[in-house]
Structure 1
Amino acid sequence: MQKRRPEITLTIIRSRRDTGSGLDPQGPDGGEIMKLSFTEKTSYGVGALGKDMACGIVNTFLMFYFTDVVGLAPAFLGVLFMVARIWDAVNDPMAGWLIDNTRSHIGKFRPWILAGTLSNTLVLIVLFSNPGIRGAGQYVFYSVIYILWGMTYTLEDISYWSMIPALADTESERNTISVIPRVFAAFGNIAVGSLGLALVSAFGKVAPGALPTQAQQSRGFFWLAVLIGVVFVITNTVTVLFVKEKVVVRNEKKFRFRDIFTTISQNDQLVVIVAAMTLYTLAINLTASLGLYWFKYDVGDERMYGTFYLTAGAQVLAMLVFPLFAKVLSRRRVFIVSALLPILGYVSLYIVGKTLGNNIAMMAIAGVVLFFGFGFSLVLTSVMLADAVDYGEWKLGSRSESIVFSMQTFMVKFAMAIAGLVTGVGLAAFGFVANAEQSAASLTGIRVLMFGVPIALLLASLAIYLKGYRLNGAYFQNIKDELEKRRAANA
């Protein structure tokens, strides 16, 4: 069957093209190659710093804040997180559709980066405000605000990551450009995870060496959210002001609402990416969600969590060396490494915790192995989704960066929700009692959720990837070559 010709026209601002022997010295218009400047690369990357700090405080501390500071029931929170993600299954692709249909003098991405940043900052501060509502009103208040947080974060996150295909058009460029925001994002996450509790204590005016009260933690988390909100606004304003789209593909007609679902469901490689990386991201989020509980109740010192989280710096190292690994190893082998290293890290961390107690040095070694693998996976997700944009254009005849990248936002938030559901329901099922000495059954449950479940998820993710992902090597290069011919014919 002959493939339907794409109804698109193409405007490229001096992009580069990969050939069999390396980089073409000329752009497709015969002019000199125009690369992203250092200022543009840095300005794009710095946006991820504030963005992931805003996501990091929710991903790392919200469950703990709700159960141990506000006093909400864990089982209820698990259900709330799940309901919010069911809504995201509709809301996130709708946001992608809205962005893809945007036409403005500053492009289609930057208006929504700015709008999403400002609105999400406001909601984030309210989320950690703890207004003192009690009874049913307390549950209603936090349910509404949490869902609003997810909706506003969607606008910024989808528009931000959707810019990658518009900034680079070749595999080598995407490997490089995808690393930069991931490095900044890792620094944001590490800063929140390692310094978060210390800042909470400082803002809450906790005496040195003392454990914070609930009131002190409440005040501390509020001002931490304010600080993160300020950083979020500043960093993303820099992105909006100094980064412009380089590769622009304009569809002749706007996406219809029903096109959202065909764009996703008929892009079989996107479906494989979503399935594999959702399971992988769920493993990461379970570690973030259960880590503080494990250190506080099993290891016996919650303050060690911040020290241990410094090993997440291994993610940065993994991201920086990713382009080198991608040159030496096929992307398929890099993915295998990214799945097997965290499994080794989980096993090592469990053994250390079981046999050596609070030996932070040995825990740190296990943490480096764990987070190094996570770092590879974060870059791979962005690169594979950028390739899925091209694949969707080739297969379906229309290009949709934002609808495709809405799946990244959905994966992250869905994994956060499932992690919250598993954590909340799991803790309740094993008899967890907040701020009390835990039973043997409760401690066993924390260990199973912290180590056993993530390992199983990583193995399942690897199996799905190996069986279904095809955008590698000559097969994908042929797709890219055919796209260039189509675009030239329609230019």
Structure 2
Amino acid sequence: YGSGDVAGNVVYAFLSSFVMIYLTDTVGLNPGIVGTLIAVSKLFDGITDIFFGSMIDKTHSKLGKARPWMLYGYIGCAITLVGIFAIPMGMSEFAKYAWFFICYSLLNAVFYTANNIAYSALTSLVTKNSAERVEMGSYRFMFAFATSLAIQSFTLLAVSALGDTAEAWRTVAIVYAIIGLIVNTLSVFSVKELPEEEFVDTTDKAEIEKDEKYGLVEAAKLLVSNKYYLMICVTYILQQIYGAMISMGTYYAAHILGDKNLFGVFSWAINIPLIIALVFTPTLVAKMHGMYKLNVGSYALATVARALVAVAGYTGSGGVKMMLLFTAIAALGQGPWQGDMNAVIASCSEYTWLTKHKRVDGTMYSCTSLGVKLGGGLGTAITGWLLAFSNYDKALAVQPESCINMLKLMYLVIPFVLDAIITFILSRMKVEEANDKIRAEMKN
């Protein structure tokens, strides 16, 4: 199961980390306009997330509910990913913007949505055991962060080795797409969903289908009525905006630290601690008898560490070494939530079942796709707007002071603020306690 996120991050990590620098420095597009196009494309996402989540809930096939969507959705992901990094250089400027917008919108609003919601929903469809769900989430994100680390470490090196041209970016995209297709297919056929009767209190197929009969409007109402779903959505969106700000490390390393290859070093400082934290997350959840205390405490640690990254970056005390140290500590604190997040979402789905008597596993996991796309898209859009506002000019070897100050704001200050907000939201995420209380009341 975990290997499926190799395929997901071949798309997401590559896109979020490098699409802006590819479009501005290779294709020559304006970062402000790119940011606006990305923001406009997000208008489709809320509808398609709920649509595909609802379709997964209503799917009955030999592969189960989620796996068909995971399998076939990725074919479109591979094609549109290559399309984004294969913009014909001979096109007019308007045509280049249009090409990017069409490919980006199809990738995010359609194909990645179908694949990612289905993949995430498997956590609740493969097992009913909360501990196993935490373990699945931990394995998933081990693969995710390992893939992100590899892509962030080697992409710029590969592009440079191939000539640092538009053709080089296209070649790298094709390689990543092929890898993603292979791994996604292997993941689909390596897991098996439980029979539908396992998740409801009846074996009557007519009764099961009755519980699944709801339209898009009712699905949206079910989600909005679940306060824990809304909390996770906001948290997911903030996490992806955080990731977009961290991806500005490509610019920060080049124009402030003076070495663009340091971005890869910082990627190691982020992803290795995350993987280490994920290894121990299932054990920590068991020892702490739940996910709540672990998530709040570890994210509070991450918030303090990100504040210290900002202090080191602005004061220069210890320079890069201190920034790397505190970056690693912050990542260590963020790891547990990444590992048990899918299990928390499964608990949110259970909350809807207990309160509304509706199975909405696929629809509930729309928060993962919505968060990744809306948060990642808005994050990338915001970075584009801020770069344009700060007068970033790819032709300048030394950027203006306004740009330097903006890069510091994006890479040092905003990630700290986002971590602080996420910590507060997690302190309110008491869904396990709510479910236990409802079950106790039902027994009485």
TM-score (norm. length: structure 1): 0.82
The answer as to whether partners of 2:73 and 2:114 remain within 8 angstroms in 1 is yes
2:252 maps to which of 294, 297, 318: 294
Query: CA deviation digits over 1:316-340, x for unaligned, max 9?
Result: 1111111122123352222223322
Does structure 1 conserve the Cα–Cα contact (< 8 Å) formed by 2:16 and 2:380? no
Choose from 477, 485, 489 the match for 2:436. Answer: 477
Q: 1:265 to 1:355 in 2, by over 3 A?
A: closer
Counterparts in 2 of 1:71 and 1:127: CA distance versus 1, 3 Å: same
Query: Is the Cα contact below 8 Å between 1:46 and 1:235 reproduced in 2?
Result: yes
| Counterpart Cα distance in 2 of 1:82 and 1:128 | 19
- Matched position secondary structure for 1:72: coil
1:122 aligns with 2:62: no
Structure 2 regions of 5+ residues with no counterpart? 200-204
Give the equivalent residue in structure 2 for 1:320.
279
2:137–2:341: 8 Å Cα contact kept in structure 1? no
Which stretch of structure 1 is more off in the superposition, 169-178 or 150-159? 169-178
Shift of 1:461: 2.2
**Which stretch has the larger CA shift, 379-388 or 405-414?**
379-388
Deviations 1:422-477 (A, max 9, x none): 2111112222212412111211111112221222222222223324x22134x423
Does 1:389 find its partner at 2:349? yes
Cα distance change, pair 435–365 in 1 and its aligned pair in 2 (3 A) = farther
Partner in structure 1 of residue 303 of structure 2: 343
Aligned counterparts of 1:305 and 1:158: Cα–Cα separation in 2: 30
Q: Which has the higher helix share?
A: 2
Aligned letter for 2:153?
Answer: S
Unaligned runs of at least 5 residues, structure 1: 1-43, 206-215, 486-491
Q: Distance in 2 between matches of 1:477 and 1:430?
A: 51
- 2:21 is aligned to 64
Q: What SS does structure 1 have at the residue aligned with 2:364?
A: helix
Which residue is equivalent to 2:375?
415
Q: Which residue of 1 aligns with 2:104?
A: 146
1:78 paired residue among 16, 35, 40 = 35
1:220 aligns with 2:168: yes
Q: Call closer, same or farther: CA 1:168–1:479 in 2, change over 3 Å.
A: farther
Residue 411 of structure 2: aligned partner: 450
Kept after mapping to 1: 8 A contact 2:135/2:339: no
Measured after TM superposition, the shift of residue 129 of structure 1 is 0.9
2:202 corresponds to which residue?
none
Q: Answer whether contact 2:313 2:323 (CA < 8 A) is retained.
A: yes
Shift of 1:88: 0.3
Change (3 A) 1:127 1:280: closer
Q: What root-mean-square deviation, in Å, do the aligned CA atoms of Structure 1 and Structure 2 show?
A: 2.1
CA contact (8 A) 1:277 1:381 kept: no
1:186 aligns with 2:134: no
SS of 1:163's partner is helix
Structure 1: how far apart are the matches of 2:403 and 2:92? 27
Determine if the alignment matches structure 1 residue 235 to structure 2 residue 235. Answer: no
What is residue 27 of structure 1 aligned with on the other side?
none
State the percentage of identical aligned residues.
22
2:120 to 148, 158, 161: 161
Given that 1:427 and 1:445 are in contact with CA atoms closer than 8 Å, whether structure 2 keeps it comes out as yes
Partner of residue 3, structure 1:
none
Cα deviation for residue 344 of structure 1 reads 3.1
Q: For residue 421 of structure 2, what is the amino acid of its counterpart?
A: A
1:171 alignment counterpart: 130
Distance 1:269 1:352 in 2: 36
Matched, 1:97 2:57: no
Matching residue of 2:66: 109
In the alignment, which residue of structure 1 is the partner of 2:335?
375
Aligned with 1:130: secondary structure?
A: coil
Whole-Å Cα distance in 2 between the matches of residues 291 and 338 of structure 1? 24
Counterpart residue type for residue 36 of structure 2: V
Report the Cα offset of residue 66 of structure 1.
1.0
Question: Is structure 2 residue 426 aligned with structure 1 residue 426?
Answer: no
The residue matched to 2:272 in structure 1 has which SS? helix
Q: State the shift of 1:356 in Å.
A: 4.7
1:412 and 1:200 map into 2 onto residues whose CA distance is 26
Q: Distance in 1 between matches of 2:334 and 2:155?
A: 21
Query: What is the alpha-carbon distance in structure 2 between the residues aligned to residue 365 and residue 358 of structure 1?
Result: 10
C-alpha displacement at 1:118, in angstroms?
A: 1.0
Superposed displacement of residue 346, structure 1: 2.5
Q: Please state how far the C-alpha of 1:355 moved relative to its aligned partner.
A: 4.8
TM-score computed with the length of structure 2 as normaliser:
0.91
User: Which SS does the other structure have where 1:258 is aligned?
Assistant: helix
**Over residues 342-376 of structure 1, what are the superposed CA-to-partner deviations in whole Å (9 max), with x where a residue is unaligned?**
33332333344445599554443222112222322
Task: Please give the alpha-carbon distance, in whole angstroms, between the structure 2 residues aligned to 1:153 and 1:368.
Answer: 30
Question: Residues 150-183 of structure 1, C-alpha deviation per residue, up to 9 Å, x if partnerless?
Answer: 1211111010010111112122221112211111
Please give the secondary structure, in 1, of the residue aligned with 2:63: coil
SS of corresponding position for 1:434? coil
Whether the 8 Å contact between 1:97 and 1:403 is mirrored in structure 2 is yes
Q: How many residues align?
A: 427
Residues 224-261 of structure 1 deviation map (CA, whole Å, 9 limit, x = unaligned): 11111111111111122221102524732333232221
Q: Counterpart of 2:425?
A: 464
Q: What is the rounded CA distance, in whole Å, between the counterparts of 1:95 and 1:481 in structure 2? A: 34
Q: Which moved more, 1:157-166 or 1:131-140?
A: 131-140
Query: 1: CA distance between counterparts of 2:292 and 2:230?
Result: 17
Contact 2:284–2:294, Cα closer than 8 Å, also in 1: yes
Contact 2:240 2:379 in 1 (8 A): no
> How much does 1:481 deviate?
6.8
- Which amino acid counterpart does residue 303 of structure 1 have in structure 2? N
> How many Å apart are 1:420 and its aligned residue?
1.4
**Correspondence for 2:227 among 261, 268, 273:** 268
